[in-house]
């Protein structure tokens, strides 16, 4: 029996992971093909640029071929040809080669992380539009209940005004309130159209057929560990550290090998049995530049390194503050949901009482409908606040790796 329970738990866990992965796959592919292609080109370009940079210390091999003609000789035109292969390659730069390779790797990873962050933020924008579409539809439904209450309020105030109980200003305010709410409903429809247009720019999917994720608060340690902005800045700091070392090495001794292979026709003007048509030139050199800007260049690289390291510290503080702010905002939204739930219960009880009084002739059906509509409004408020919580959590998720 105990083993059976363990199997059930494992099955449930696997099912949840499978469902979660389905949602993740669906959202990771929310962007249009054009947007995805642009990001793919950015990733490919970054890889190629990094490959070029990592091999930039290798000097090119120069291959040349030349052919000359001369009419200097009375015997006729004489032609000579020359083929050569030459190279001048540094093999030791006081650590500069090693740190240049390390620098290109850090730059590759920093740029890759930045592109990943840009893509995730765009995915987050698309998902935020989906949440806001759902939210504005709830707001529209809520406003319809409010307009219905406004209509009832106008009817009741008109009856009181005609009976001489109320002043005309009360009726005027009720009419104005209904007009304002109807205008607000039109604005919501316009906002809904704008949201759909924004989504169509980001995605070619049908927003009505996409499933919204159910986001939960991630623990602070996990959020910090997977935060893409912090990872990018840390990689940038590492990049600047290697760049400083590369700058130092630039002004230290360099050992280079140089070689040349030449295969060419001998000059007929100076024939000599001691000369070869094909031969090698080779050797080595030790060099060290003396540059008046060396100190400033090294100090600049040091300042850039310190600035990048400080940006990491500042980013850690920002990440912690962002997390705390969102967590506190979630607590406030939970309190709003709790208040709306209490109000819904109160209006529900008032509706029952008013309905019974209406049946007894002491209240009108309109009074009961007002209570019922108010109950529905507070019920919709709970769903709206829940979406607000999801929008807050989305701000965390888009800055993390592999969570959507």
Domains and CATH numbers, the chain: 109-253+293-397 (1.20.1600.10)
C-beta of residue 180 within 8 angstroms of C-beta of residue 8? no
List Cα–Cα distances, 150 to 159, 182, 288, 367, in angstroms: 14, 10, 86, 12
Q: How far is CA 394 from the centre of its chain?
A: 12
The token pair at 400 is 């993390």
pLDDT of the residue at 76: 72
Question: For position 11, what pLDDT does the model report?
Answer: 36
Question: Is the CB of residue 392 less than 8 Å from the CB of residue 129?
Answer: no
| pTM > 0.85: yes or no | no
pLDDT given at position 16? 34
- Classified as helix, coil or strand, 69 is strand
In whole angstroms, what is the distance from residue 27 CA to residue 48 CA?
28
Q: Is there a contact between 110 and 236 (Cβ–Cβ < 8 Å)?
A: yes
pLDDT of residue 58: 81
Q: Please, are residues 140 and 192 in contact by the beta-carbon 8 Å criterion?
A: yes
Distance of alpha carbon 185 from alpha carbon 88, whole angstroms: 75
Instruction: Label residue 101 left, alpha or beta by phi (over 0 means left) and psi (-120 to 50 means alpha).
Output: alpha
Handedness of CA 247, 250, 251, 255 (dihedral sign): positive
pLDDT in tens, the chain (404 residues): 444 444 434 433 333 333 333 344 456 788 989 999 999 999 999 999 888 888 888 888 888 888 887 776 667 777 778 888 888 878 777 778 888 888 899 999 999 999 999 999 999 999 999 999 999 999 999 999 999 999 999 999 898 888 888 888 999 999 999 999 999 999 999 999 999 999 999 999 999 888 888 999 999 999 999 999 999 999 999 999 999 988 888 888 888 888 888 887 676 666 666 667 777 888 888 888 888 888 898 999 999 999 999 999 999 999 999 999 999 999 999 999 999 999 999 999 999 999 999 888 888 899 999 999 999 999 999 999 999 999 999 999 999 877 65
Give the pLDDT of residue 396: 93
Per the DSSP assignment, residues forming a β-bridge with 260 are 86, 281
Q: What count of residues does the chain have?
A: 404
DSSP state of 206: -
Rg (CA), the chain: 38
CA 268 to chain centre: 70
Helical H segments across 163-293, by residue range: 168-202, 220-226, 228-250
């Amino acid at each position: 029996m105990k083993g059976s329970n363990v199997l059930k738990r494992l099955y449930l866990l696997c099912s949840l992971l499978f469902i979660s992965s389905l949602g993740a796959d669906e959202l990771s592919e929310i962007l249009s093909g054009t947007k995805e292609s642009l990001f793919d080109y950015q990733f490919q370009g970054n890889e190629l640029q990094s490959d070029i940079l990592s091999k930039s210390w290798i000097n090119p091999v120069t291959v040349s071929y030349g052919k000359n003609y001369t009419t200097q000789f009375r015997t006729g035109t004489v032609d000579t040809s020359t083929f050569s292969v030459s190279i001048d390659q540094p093999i030791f730069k006081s650590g500069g080669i090693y740190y240049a390779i390390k620098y290109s790797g850090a730059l590759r990873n920093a740029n890759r992380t930045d592109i990943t962050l840009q893509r995730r933020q765009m995915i987050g924008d698309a998902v935020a539009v989906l949440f806001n579409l759902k939210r504005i539809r709830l707001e529209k439904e809520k406003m319809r209940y409010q307009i219905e209450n406004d209509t009832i309020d106008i009817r009741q105030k008109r009856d009181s005004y005609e009976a001489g109980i109320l002043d005309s200003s009360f009726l005027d305010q009720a009419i104005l309130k209904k007009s304002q709410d109807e205008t607000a409903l039109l604005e919501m429809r316009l906002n809904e159209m704008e949201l759909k247009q924004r989504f169509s720019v980001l995605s070619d999917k049908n927003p009505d057929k996409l499933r919204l994720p159910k986001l939960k608060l991630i623990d602070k340690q996990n959020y910090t560990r997977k935060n893409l902005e912090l990872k990018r800045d840390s990689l940038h700091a590492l990049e600047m550290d290697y760049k400083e070392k590369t700058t130092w090495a630039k002004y230290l001794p360099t050992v280079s090998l140089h070689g040349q292979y030449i295969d060419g026709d001998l000059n007929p003007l100076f024939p000599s049995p001691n000369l070869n048509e094909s031969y090698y030139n080779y050797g080595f050199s030790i060099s060290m530049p003396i540059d008046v800007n060396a100190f400033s260049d090294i100090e600049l690289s040091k300042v850039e390194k310190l600035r990048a390291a400080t940006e990491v510290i500042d980013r850690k503080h920002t990440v912690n503050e962002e997390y705390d702010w969102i967590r506190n905002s979630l607590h406030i939204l939970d309190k709003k949901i709790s208040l709306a739930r209490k109000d819904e219960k109160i209006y529900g009880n008032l509706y029952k009482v008013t309905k019974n009084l209406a049946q007894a002739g002491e209240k009108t059906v309109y009074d009961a409908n007002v209570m019922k509509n108010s109950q529905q409004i507070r019920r919709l408020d709970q769903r709206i606040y829940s979406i607000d919580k999801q929008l807050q959590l989305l701000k965390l998720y888009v800055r993390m790796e592999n969570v959507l």
